[in-house]
Amino acid sequence: MGHDSSNESAEPDGDTAHLLRELLEQARMQTRHLREIRDGVELDTCLLDKVARIACMTANESHADRQMLGGIRDSLNSLLELYQSVHPEQALQIDKITKLRNELHQCCQAHEPPVDLICKYEPCEPHRGFKRGDGYSTKSRGFVKPVQVCEEHEPWDIRAHTLNEEDEALPQVLQGPLVGQLVPVAPTPMVLDFRSGGAAAPSGGQEPVTFRTFSQGGISKGVWPPDMSGAKGGDVVVMSGNLWLKLSVDSGATFTDVPFNDVFAADNTYGGWAGDQVIHYVPQIDCFVLYVQSSVGAKGGANASKSVVKVALASPADLKKFKGGKAAWRRQWDFTSDDFGLSAWLDFPDVSYGDSFLYINTNAFTRSFDSAGKSSDAFAGKLFFELPLKELRAGTGFSFYYGLCTDALVYGSPTQGIGDENYWAAHVNNSKMRIYSSKGSDANFYWRERDLGGNWPMAAVDTNNLTDIISAAPDSGDWISEDHRIIGATRVNNQLWFAWTAAAGDGGAGGFKFAQAHIQIAKFDLTQDYKFMGQSQVWNADFAFAYPSLTTNSNNEVGISLAWGGGKNFGSHAVGILGDFVVWFGEASDRTSTYLSPTRFGDYLHVRLAHPDTRFFSAFGYAVRNDGTVAPPERADYLYVEFGREAIAPSPLR
C-alpha cells in the first residue's frame, strides 16, 4: 500500500495495534467457524432433501386415509336408509339416527371433493443445480489506499536484464479422454506485407482490410523480451514494453519516449519494478489504465517470495497536457502479496474491463531455495481482483473483491468485450476446458467444465519441467518457447471465444496431424448453458502461428494479433480478422533474438479497439532486426498498426 505521509498521527500505537491484531484474529476465527457451518449445511443438503420427500409422502397418505373414511361414512348412511324401508316399525329409531346424523353434519364441515394430492414433492437439483465439474466459491474482500504521489522522487535507473521464466513451471496439460479427431478449418496460406499494396480480397465476400496507421521505430534497451501492450483513446495512443513507455498524440503516426523511471518512483521494498506492463483504455471513465509488477523479494528478507503490483490511471487530456509525465499518472494504487493473504509473488498479468469494474488476472508463484541457495518457483494459482471504475476515476481508496483459483491448471486471460461479467478459462486436459465467470458486484465466482470437439496436440515437457512449444527458424532451433496459456479471449454477442498456442501433432486421437505449432480456438454459447459450439484453428503446414490476442469490434468481427515464423521465416508480428484466412505484417524480423537462452519471442502481444472508431483495431508488436552497430548485433523495432474494414459486406438477403 502507499504510505500516507500527511496522516502520521493516524498511525496506531503499540497497544492499539495489538488490540487490532486480536480483533483481526477473532474475525478470522469467526470466518472459519462460519465456513465450517456452511460446509456442514452443504453436507446435510441430501439428508434434508430426503426428509422433505418422506414428509410429503406422509401427508399424501394421510389425505388418502381421510378420503377412504369419508367413503365408509357414506356407505353406512345408505345402509341405514335401506334398513328404514325394510323395517318401517323401526322408523322412530331411524329418525333418531337421522337426527344424530344431522347434528353431526352441523358440527363438522362437509366432506370436500377428493383431490389427487395435497403435497407435490419437487426434488432439489443434484449438486444444487450444478453439473459434474461445475461449482462456485466465495471471494475475499480487500481494501486499498491511493499512493501519495510526490511532485519529485529519488532518481533511479532501470538496470538492463532479461526476463526468463525457466523456473516458473506451470502445470502440465494432460492427455484427456478421446472426444474426437480434429477436423481443421481451411489453412491460413498467406502472410502478406500490407505495405506492398494490392492483395486479393478475403474469402466470404468480405470487404478488404484497410490499414489506417502504421508506425515503427526503435525500442528502448534494457529489458527483454518486449511483451508489447498498448491502447488508443481518441488521438492518444500509449504503448508499453516491460519497463518503457511511448506516447503518441497524433493517433499513432509518431511516438515519443516517456521514461518509466521519471514517471514512477522506484520500488525499494520488494525486488524493484520488473515489467510485464499491460495498457488498456477504458471508455467508461475516459482513462488509460497501466499495470506493472515488481520482481520477487530477496531471499531472507521480510518480503521473500512476495511482490507488489501498481495500477495507475491517466486521462487522454492529462497525457497531452503533461506529455505523458508523472502529473498525468497521479492516480496510483499499490497491491502487495500481503493484501491478498499470499506468501507468493505475482507474474504474467492481463487486464480487461466491464461496465463498472476493471478486471485483473495474474499467476501466483511461491519461491523456495535449495541448500546451495538456488531458487525455484512453484505454481500457487490464478489470482483475480476486481476494481470499481467509479472509485478508480475518483482516485480514492476503495474496497474490492478478489479470489484465488488454486487447482493445478493452465489458466487464461480475462475476456475482452465482456459487458458486466468477466470470463476466463483453464485447460482441464486436452479435451476439456473449465470456464470461470465473475461479476465485480457479486460475492461469489463460478465455473463449469465443458468437453471440446476434438483432442488438440500438446507440447512435450523439457528438461526444466516446462511445457515447451518449439518452432525452428533459419538461425535457431526454436524461436517460440511458448506454453499453452489461453491468452486470447473475447466475447462475440453471446459466444465466448478462447485461443491458445498448440503444438504440432494430432492430440492423441489420430486423424489430421498438424505439421507446425498453431493456434486453437474454442467457442461456447452462453445462452445454451455454455454449450460447446466448435473449434477452429489458425495454421499452416510450412510455418507456425503463436501468441494469439483477440478482441471484438462493433461489427462483431474478431481481430487477432499474433506471432508467426518458422521454416524459412523468422519470428514476426502479424494481424488479421478471423475468418479471412489471411494475416498481415508491416515489418518482418530478419533474425532471432539472442538475449534469452533458450530463445523466446515473449509472453504476449495485444490487440485493442481503436477508440472511438470501434470498427477498427489497434495492435502492438515488434520485429527483431540485424544491427551491426550494437552488441549483440540486433535491435528491436516497435510496431503499431491500426486496421479494420471501412464497411462490412452487404447481406445476401433482400
Q: How far apart are CA 299 and CA 653, in angstroms?
A: 67
Alpha carbon separation from 432 to 408, 445, 452, 461, 496 (Å, rounded):
14, 20, 6, 20, 15
What pLDDT is attached to residue 24? 60
Give one DSSP letter per residue of 320-364, joined into a string.
HHTTT-GGGG-EEEEEETGGGT-SSEEEEEEEEE-SSEEEEEEEE
Q: How far apart are CA 93 and CA 460, in angstroms?
A: 101
Phi, psi at residue 40, to the nearest 5°? -65, -40
Number of continuous H segments (helices) and E segments (strands) in the chain: 6, 34
What pLDDT is attached to residue 498? 98
Q: How far apart are CA 218 and CA 211, in angstroms?
A: 21
What pLDDT is attached to residue 562? 98
Give the H or E element holding residue 28: helix 14-43
Q: How far apart are CA 174 and CA 484, in angstroms?
A: 11
What pLDDT is attached to residue 386? 98
Give the H or E element holding residue 39: helix 14-43
What pLDDT is attached to residue 379? 94
Give the angle 618-619-623 at the CA atoms, nearest 5°: 150
Give one DSSP letter per residue of 551-587, joined into a string.
EE-TTS-EEEEEEEEETTEEEEEEEEETTS-EEEESS
CB–CB of 379/405 below 8 Å?
no
Alpha helices in 241-336 (DSSP H): 260-263, 316-321
CA 480 to chain CA mean position, Å: 23
What pLDDT is attached to residue 2? 40
Smallest CA-to-CA distance from 280 within 395, 363, 357 is with 357
What pLDDT is attached to residue 198? 47
419: exposed, middle or buried (C-beta count within 10 Å: 0-12, 13-18, 19+)?
exposed
Cell digits for 366?
Answer: 511461491
Residue type, 653: L
Q: How far apart are CA 65 and CA 43, in angstroms?
A: 35
Cell digits for 573?
Answer: 508480428
User: What strand order describes the sheet that includes 616-626?
Assistant: 210-218, 634-644, 616-626, 606-611, 229-233, 236-240, 245-248, 256-258
What pLDDT is attached to residue 8? 41
Low-confidence ranges of the chain (pLDDT < 70): 1-53, 80-81, 83-84, 91, 104-131, 161-168, 197-205, 221-222, 463-465, 597, 649-654
Q: CA torsion sign, 457 to 460 to 461 to 466?
A: negative
What pLDDT is attached to residue 132? 73
Q: How far apart are CA 113 and CA 650, in angstroms?
A: 66
Give one DSSP letter per residue of 456-513, joined into a string.
PPPPPB-TTS-B-B---BTTBS-S--B-----EEEEETTEEEEEEEE-SB-TTS-S--
Q: How far apart are CA 642 and CA 619, in angstroms?
A: 6
Cell digits for 437?
Answer: 465467470
Q: Point out which residues pair with 501 in neighbouring strands.
A: 519
What pLDDT is attached to residue 335? 98
Alpha carbon separation from 329 to 250, 316, 498, 620 (Å, rounded):
20, 11, 33, 22
